[in-house]
A and B are shown apart, each in its own frame.
Chain A
Amino acid sequence: MEQSNKEHRKRKEKAGAKKKLHSQGHNAKAFAVSAPGKMAKQMQRTGDKNEKKLHVPMVDRTPDDDPPPIIIAVVGPPGTGKTTLIKSLVRRLTKTTLSEINGPITVVSGKRRRLTFIECPADDLNSMIDISKVADLVLLMMDGNFGFEMETMEFLNLAQHHGMPRVLGVATHLDLFKSQSTLRASKKSLKHRFWTEVYQGAKLFYLSGVINGRYPDREILNLSRFISVMKFRPLQWRNEHPYLLADRISDLTHPELLQSKGMHIDRKVAIYGYLHGTPLPSTPGYRVHIAGVGDYQIDHVEKLPDPCPTPYYQQKLDEFERERAKEEGSTSATTVRRRKRLDDKQKLIYAPMSDVGGLLMDKDAVFIDVGGKTGPNSMTAEEKDESDKIVSNLQATSRSIDEKFENVGLQLFSNSTELHAIEDQDEEVEEDTEDEDDVDRGNVGRSSLRKARVYGKSLQESNADLDNLSSDNENYNEDDDEDEAHRTKLVEIDFDDEKPENMAFETDSELDASDSEGWERTTAGKLNGTKNKRRKWDISKLIYMDNIAPADAIKRWNGEADETEVEEDLEDDEDTEFFTQKTNTTPNKAVTYHDDLERFIPYFDTFNDLVERWSTADSIKDRFVGKPSLNTKSSDDVKDEDDDEDEVYGDFEDLEAEPENTDEKEENSAAGDEESDSNESFADFEEEEKKDLTQDEERELNAAKKEKLRLQFEMEEGDNFGEDPENEYDTWYELQKAKIAKQLEINKAELESMTPEQRQQIEGMKAGSYVRIVFDKVPMEFIENFNPKYPVIMGGLLPTELKFGIINARVRRHRWHKKILKTNDPLVLSLGWRRFQTLPIYTTSDSRTRTRMLKYTPEHAYCTASFYGPLCSPNTTFCGVQIVANSDTTGSFRIAATGIVEEIDASVEIVKKLKLVGYPYKIFKNTAFIKDMFSSAMEVARFEGAQIKTVSGIRGEIKRALSKPEGHFRATFEDKILLSDIIILRSWYPIQVKKFYNPVTSLLLKDKTEWKGLRLTGQIRASLGIDLPTNNDSTYKKVERVERNFNGLKVPKSVAKDLPFKSQIYQMKPQKKKTYMAKRAVVLGGEEKKARSFMQKVLTISNAKDEKKRSKKAEERKERLKKLAKLEESKKEKEKQRKKDFFSKNGKKRQFNDNDTSDVMSSKKRK
């Protein structure tokens, strides 16, 4: 018994009491480490945590100001409540009740966040693959009663090999548990299983029951909150490719074509959606892959107004609008309240495939569904919202007119640099109409000109031309009448005076929609004399105008274009002889030189010119880091006299200059010091300028300088981390992150400094923009068999991915896949954006000397697979499945292999082992004649000197073919071989990878889940009833070995005699004397004999008894076993029956006998 004492009561601490510093004689602060073990553990833990946080630094190319919506895929086996979840979430986020879920649904979820929900068809492996490539977040649904099902596991594995998106588990149907304890237990086991699949501590949501066709509001709220704060890591593949999840598809084929040529012609298709990933190049002809359809060239892309803008974006727009309004002086600017929560108006939803709100916006039309399709109840609920939208869309129509022009311009002059200002979108309708007017006028004017104009004549008309056209130039918005008069005059003067200086060209103009020869026309239109200031060509544009010869382009840029040329231009603008004209007029002084661009050494002036120019090197003195020479005076410098002085005496200048401004003086002197350090006369120059600036200007200059410094990339790219003492970053990781951030900042700043058209040209369509991509010649099946339930994904292709070749990859059969994989058996690979069937050859490397073919994949190890297909950059992971058609699938795990691309090449050397077998028929000492290996002397000649081997391991070499029996040869061995030996020649036979590439075009099928490609070898065998070919020699038989008797070694006497003493064979002579026992004989008699015979009798009897007993027992045992077996049988039967009954009752959930969708829908409705 333990003694029970009263518990110790601690002394109560007084509230204001000062903490005791000294405890146990130590100052606790001075000796901080009181528990070193604990501290070590703590440090270890923090270290571990920090280390876990580290990732390979990767650039995140998603724009941070207006990112694309986050793609949330809802995935799970049929009947787990995917649709219900989406409905509940959409209802929660936008207060919209969806009747049907078709295609992606984009909703605004926060100030800066939009979500795109997409439901993954449960029974389609192809869709699962595609979804796993684009989803940012996966809501993995599972039935709490069933736990993990095959689809869940398959999807998780697919996702893992396509760059693992974030995964949130959602367990449903938890209300079906009757007792709390089983619920708890199953929750726990589910959670732990989920953790092993995803990661330890992964979030798993539990949704209990369905109320009003939705999950409980509280649980959905929690889930949506969780989603709205989620952060995402950039994934390698998506960070290198542009991609898009189509939320609308329309057939643009001209109906007349369909009528005249039939429905079977290839279609022109437009795909709409938000861009993700890297910017999509806006150049036409960019190749993309539409998963399940194939590779296509983009005909053209255009940016559409965002159908579902974030409140943040709208706010920015409003601010911009207000700013403009303020500038224009109107006082109607209203203050906008900043809200913390989203306004109901801002909770937008955009789901064109699902017919939400009955509203469709197109490029040039708005369709309002008057409500035949959607239920009346949903319409009434949104009446107010809708009317709002209609109003807003009426405004949007003006945009789309504007855009129409822009788009046509894009289409027509894709090769030229002329693009329309995107700013135009924000312009008022008035301006647009004005533009239209201009266009009209322009059209009229041109037609008349066309007739009248003759080569080299009629200035009057050129003026008319100018008048008509230059008015759409935004740079000259002055009063038209005045302007025109002025202009005509000037132009006339120009021509009369032959002053080329007044001639200038303008390129940034707006093209009207209908004009096909707009470029030429506008060039003329830009001939402009309104301002005497010489207008310059923009070199960036000039360079890319293919119809201007480079020499000419340079000349124009430099403003050297002389009068004759200008006139020619005018003519050219009128005529179509533009090109011929130009080529005739190009010859010039340096042309002969420039013609040969292969010349490496650049063009220099003649020696004498150079001597003259470089008598002093003053003009480039600022390019040398050296002492400024005192006695030279620059002749052609911009600086004036005292500047030069300053330059020379850089250190002293400040003392005499500007004594009144002390601030500046200080600054200057500081700068001067720096200067003297670097001795850069460059700086002097700037210094000089500063003197005559006012403070404001100076500030501006400083700001500019700072801006420049900010954008300077001073961080050294090399690996000299650690060596640099000025490094402010503690770790390499930090340095890399800082570098990436810096580069991104530069990118952003540079891109923002460009005009919108330049930006589009250089950057392309950036992620987050809503685009319409038009494809030509898409198979009609895509449109005819289109089903919005199946996601359409478009991914951009890098140059490498356009090429075809051999891919060497490291693959492994998936450990859950039941069968090993066979070489040259078709395998559907999901590599990159594509899904395709190919014929892989599995190989292994024989100690790196050769790549040897394997017939089958090894059981639990990686091997290499070589297959033909579109190339993909190394380090890309992929997975392979054998069958995608639902009708062919068994219940087993479908992902057959996973792997990673190691190398791409145009060819690959794979060999397989080939053993040639021969038999000796005549044996000399070490030489033997071999037959049956070759059939001709020629073949033997090919293998002369080759290594051969007997089965017993005696090595040899092929020597020469024998003349007589064709194909026989002489060989030598290291030892004498036996006639019974088999001779083996091991050789390597090269095999080729079969060039088979069969894209999985599942989206073209009526029944998308039934794509069947090349059949597997096993399937063909089964269907044709062919047995596996068996080699009789390869079958295992019982080895019957004849016992061999070896005679003892007999050494002849004559030999034995000569053997050395050591090797003498000792053999004892037989004994001659009789032994003791041999001498004696024992005879029994009397008592002993009797006793012995008695004993023998007794034993015989007992043995016989025993024998009888044993046999009886054996019989009994046999009987018993029989009985037991019978019992077992009946037991089994019973169990089977029970199982059958159970599953026929409870296993109904997974039955999809016919793939009728209506059937699916009805089965979804749970009782």
Chain B
Amino acid sequence: MSSSSRYVTFEGSRNFRLRVVMATLSGKAIKIEKIRSDDLNPGLKDYEVSFLRLMEAVTNGSSIEISYTGTTVIFRPGIITGGSYTHQCPNSKPVGYFAEPMLYLAPFSKKKFSILFRGITSSHNDAGIDAIKWGLMPIMEKFGVRECALHTLKRGSPPLGGGEVHLVVDSLIAQPITMHALDKTMISSIRGVSYSTRVSPSLVNRMIDGAKKVLKSASCEVNITADVWRGENSGKSPGWGLTLVAENKQGWRIFSEAIGDAGDVPEDIGASVAYHLLEEISKSGVVGRNQLPLTILYMIIGKEDIGRLRITKDQIDERFVWLLRDIKKVFGTEILLKPVDDNTTDLIATIKGIGFTNTNKKIA
């Protein structure tokens, strides 16, 4: 084997999880250099190491080499095996940080995925468990992953956490279905979950009020559930938050979420989540910005057919560009963006799958 191109090389800490996930899916070894090399605290963070450990646990035969300073990582992926595993998430990142990348791998493993995550269940920056459950899993369902679920056993708010979440993905598919989503998502209703742990239930209802007030103008059915957690299942810290999901009949979802800190006014949080939802709807074509990586990647690893996805101009931001560049580096494929000719600035992303198949699964 030639030694020159043994790794796909990346620089910087951005897109860390996705790069590792893509490497695993493509089977290519990657080398990530200069991870926070200019930082005062250089190298991998604890949660990233924890994520690598998780990757090691759900795969067989992967090897991880971390340099002495932690600024360089070499990841040689093995075979996605899945199985049951319990992952203790560090308190620096919530469960969603670890569970989200698992969604990319789970349908393509040898055995069914059943991972129990312990830690914080919601945060400001990462996917909350409700967002994954109501926002990302329906996307997977659209691609043929029909049996996936995220069971909330305990909620744990930051900073101490104490939550417990069970990710179960039962359907092992050969490859995702080729997607043709050419029309903007028409929202039929808005649902939501307003949850709290170890605080007064009134906060929950105040959030709902705040959100409903804003969503009144949207003129569609709004239904927000109050979800108050008490007792030992509610983790170690008080906390509260809201996740709103705009649904459509075809199964697409657009969502937004936020959590409240001490001193925040619940109505304001509710209102801001609702505004975020409206903003997200306005900016989204078929899927929201935070669903875009999952959707694009699932389309990339599809059959060798052309799939199409409508996206808006607003969705093409820096992350999107980074995502596509990383995809090109790993899979070697490009996507084509073509404007739609119906007086909008929208684009159709034409994606040809790489002809990926789940080779890990044993034949019956």
Name A's B-contacting residues (CB within 8 A): 59, 61, 240, 278-279, 281, 283, 285-286, 295, 297, 417, 539-540, 543-544, 546, 550-551, 553-554, 557-558, 590, 594-605, 607, 610-611, 613-621, 623-629, 632, 638, 680, 685-686, 689, 704, 708, 712-713, 717, 743-744, 746-747, 750-751, 753-754, 758, 761-763, 777, 798-800, 802-803, 805, 871, 873-875, 900-907
Chain A proximity of B110: nearest CB distance (Å)? 8
CA distance A750 to B322 in the complex (A): 25
Known: A281-B333, A746-B305. 11 other contacts (CB 8 A): A543-B321, A544-B325, A596-B14, A599-B126, A601-B256, A602-B289, A604-B275, A713-B180, A744-B305, A761-B334, A906-B60
B217, A617: Cβ atoms closer than 8 Å: yes
**Does B263 lie at the interface of the complex (its beta carbon under 8 Å from any beta carbon of A)?**
no
Q: If A594-B319, A598-B14 touch, does A607 touch B126 (CB 8 Å cutoff)? A: no
**Does B72 lie at the interface of the complex (its beta carbon under 8 Å from any beta carbon of A)?**
no
Interface hit among B153-161, B199-207, B231-239, B354-362? B354-362
A800, B27: Cβ atoms closer than 8 Å: yes
User: Contacts of B322 on A, CB cut-off 8 Å?
Assistant: 550, 597
B219, A751: Cβ atoms closer than 8 Å: no
User: Contacts of B78 on A, CB cut-off 8 Å?
Assistant: 906
Chain A proximity of B56: nearest CB distance (Å)? 12
* Contacts of B333-364 to chain A: CB distance below 8 A: 333-338, 341-343, 347, 350, 352, 354-357, 359-363
* Contacts of B111-152 to chain A: CB distance below 8 A: 124-127, 131, 144
Chain B proximity of A700: nearest CB distance (Å)? 11
User: Contacts of B61 on A, CB cut-off 8 Å?
Assistant: 805, 905-907
A240, B355: Cβ atoms closer than 8 Å: yes
User: Contacts of B268 on A, CB cut-off 8 Å?
Assistant: 607
Chain B proximity of A218: nearest CB distance (Å)? 44
Q: If A281-B332, A540-B337 touch, does A751 touch B306 (CB 8 Å cutoff)? A: yes
User: Contacts of A417 on B, CB cut-off 8 Å?
Assistant: 334
Q: List 27 A-B contacts (CB under 8 A).
A: A240-B357, A278-B304, A285-B5, A539-B347, A540-B336, A543-B320, A544-B334, A550-B325, A553-B321, A595-B14, A597-B322, A598-B16, A600-B290, A602-B317, A603-B317, A610-B275, A614-B278, A615-B217, A621-B219, A624-B218, A625-B186, A712-B180, A713-B178, A717-B178, A762-B350, A873-B357, A903-B361
CA distance A597 to B290 in the complex (A): 11
**Does B230 lie at the interface of the complex (its beta carbon under 8 Å from any beta carbon of A)?**
no
Chain B proximity of A1086: nearest CB distance (Å)? 98
A554, B187: Cβ atoms closer than 8 Å: no
Q: If A873-B359, A904-B360, A906-B60 touch, does A611 touch B275 (CB 8 Å cutoff)? A: yes
User: Contacts of A717 on B, CB cut-off 8 Å?
Assistant: 144, 177-178
CA distance A907 to B305 in the complex (A): 33
User: Contacts of B319 on A, CB cut-off 8 Å?
Assistant: 594, 597, 602
* Contacts of B22-58 to chain A: CB distance below 8 A: 26-28
User: Contacts of B14 on A, CB cut-off 8 Å?
Assistant: 595-598
Identity of the chain A residue whose Cβ is nearest the Cβ of B185 in the assembled complex: A623
Identity of the chain A residue whose Cβ is nearest the Cβ of B357 in the assembled complex: A873
Indicate which residue in B271, B352, B359 contacts A871 across the interface (CB closer than 8 Å). Answer: B359
Identity of the chain B residue whose Cβ is nearest the Cβ of A799 in the assembled complex: B27
**Does B276 lie at the interface of the complex (its beta carbon under 8 Å from any beta carbon of A)?**
yes
User: Contacts of A285 on B, CB cut-off 8 Å?
Assistant: 5, 332
CA distance A379 to B181 in the complex (A): 61
B: interface residue count bin:
35 or more
Chain B proximity of A655: nearest CB distance (Å)? 26
User: Contacts of A279 on B, CB cut-off 8 Å?
Assistant: 304
Name B's A-contacting residues (CB within 8 A): 1-2, 5, 13-17, 26-28, 60-62, 78-79, 81, 96-97, 100, 110, 124-127, 131, 144, 177-178, 180, 182, 184-188, 214, 217-221, 248-249, 256-258, 268, 271-272, 275-276, 278-282, 288-290, 303-306, 308, 313, 316-322, 324-325, 328, 332-338, 341-343, 347, 350, 352, 354-357, 359-363
User: Contacts of A746 on B, CB cut-off 8 Å?
Assistant: 180, 305-306, 308
B316, A624: Cβ atoms closer than 8 Å: no
User: Contacts of A554 on B, CB cut-off 8 Å?
Assistant: 316-318, 321
User: Contacts of A704 on B, CB cut-off 8 Å?
Assistant: 341
User: Contacts of B258 on A, CB cut-off 8 Å?
Assistant: 601
Chain A proximity of B246: nearest CB distance (Å)? 8
A904, B79: Cβ atoms closer than 8 Å: yes
B144, A546: Cβ atoms closer than 8 Å: no
B219, A905: Cβ atoms closer than 8 Å: no
CA distance A295 to B341 in the complex (A): 45
Indicate which residue in B17, B320, B359, B363 contacts A598 across the interface (CB closer than 8 Å). Answer: B17
CA distance A758 to B336 in the complex (A): 8
Indicate which residue in A543, A604, A750, A754 contacts B308 across the interface (CB closer than 8 Å). Answer: A750
CA distance A537 to B19 in the complex (A): 28
A604, B279: Cβ atoms closer than 8 Å: yes
CA distance A599 to B320 in the complex (A): 13
CA distance A899 to B130 in the complex (A): 47
Q: If A539-B347, A799-B26 touch, does A297 touch B2 (CB 8 Å cutoff)? A: yes
B27, A803: Cβ atoms closer than 8 Å: yes
User: Contacts of B257 on A, CB cut-off 8 Å?
Assistant: 601
Indicate which residue in A610, A638, A686 contacts B279 across the interface (CB closer than 8 Å). Answer: A610
User: Contacts of B316 on A, CB cut-off 8 Å?
Assistant: 539, 543, 554, 557
CA distance A529 to B325 in the complex (A): 30
Identity of the chain B residue whose Cβ is nearest the Cβ of A901 in the assembled complex: B363
B127, A600: Cβ atoms closer than 8 Å: yes
User: Contacts of B280 on A, CB cut-off 8 Å?
Assistant: 602
B217, A616: Cβ atoms closer than 8 Å: yes
User: Contacts of B324 on A, CB cut-off 8 Å?
Assistant: 543-544
Q: If A544-B325, A874-B363 touch, does A601 touch B333 (CB 8 Å cutoff)? A: no
B27, A620: Cβ atoms closer than 8 Å: no
CA distance A904 to B268 in the complex (A): 53
B289, A620: Cβ atoms closer than 8 Å: no
Chain A proximity of B331: nearest CB distance (Å)? 8
Identity of the chain A residue whose Cβ is nearest the Cβ of B188 in the assembled complex: A625
A598, B15: Cβ atoms closer than 8 Å: yes
CA distance A753 to B336 in the complex (A): 11
User: Contacts of A539 on B, CB cut-off 8 Å?
Assistant: 316, 337, 347
User: Contacts of A875 on B, CB cut-off 8 Å?
Assistant: 363
CA distance A851 to B96 in the complex (A): 38
CA distance A603 to B276 in the complex (A): 10
CA distance A758 to B78 in the complex (A): 33
Indicate which residue in B100, B318, B362 contacts A903 across the interface (CB closer than 8 Å). Answer: B362
Indicate which residue in A550, A600, A751, A777 contacts B96 across the interface (CB closer than 8 Å). Answer: A600
CA distance A746 to B15 in the complex (A): 32
Indicate which residue in B214, B248, B281, B318 contacts A620 across the interface (CB closer than 8 Å). Answer: B281
CA distance A596 to B39 in the complex (A): 13
A602, B355: Cβ atoms closer than 8 Å: no
Indicate which residue in B282, B350, B357 contacts A619 across the interface (CB closer than 8 Å). Answer: B282
Q: If A602-B289, A605-B279, A762-B350 touch, does A903 touch B363 (CB 8 Å cutoff)? A: yes
Identity of the chain B residue whose Cβ is nearest the Cβ of A753 in the assembled complex: B338
A625, B362: Cβ atoms closer than 8 Å: no
User: Contacts of A595 on B, CB cut-off 8 Å?
Assistant: 14
CA distance A283 to B138 in the complex (A): 34
B100, A600: Cβ atoms closer than 8 Å: yes
CA distance A595 to B335 in the complex (A): 23
User: Contacts of A620 on B, CB cut-off 8 Å?
Assistant: 218, 278, 281-282
Indicate which residue in B2, B79, B220, B361 contacts A624 across the interface (CB closer than 8 Å). Answer: B220
Q: If A602-B280, A799-B28 touch, does A626 touch B180 (CB 8 Å cutoff)? A: no
A544, B328: Cβ atoms closer than 8 Å: yes
Indicate which residue in B178, B275, B303, B350 contacts A607 across the interface (CB closer than 8 Å). Answer: B275
A617, B218: Cβ atoms closer than 8 Å: yes
User: Contacts of A619 on B, CB cut-off 8 Å?
Assistant: 282
Q: Closest 9 A-B residue pairs measured CB to CB?
A: A906-B61, A713-B180, A550-B321, A610-B275, A903-B362, A597-B14, A602-B289, A873-B359, A617-B217
CA distance A744 to B317 in the complex (A): 32
CA distance A763 to B334 in the complex (A): 9
User: Contacts of B16 on A, CB cut-off 8 Å?
Assistant: 598
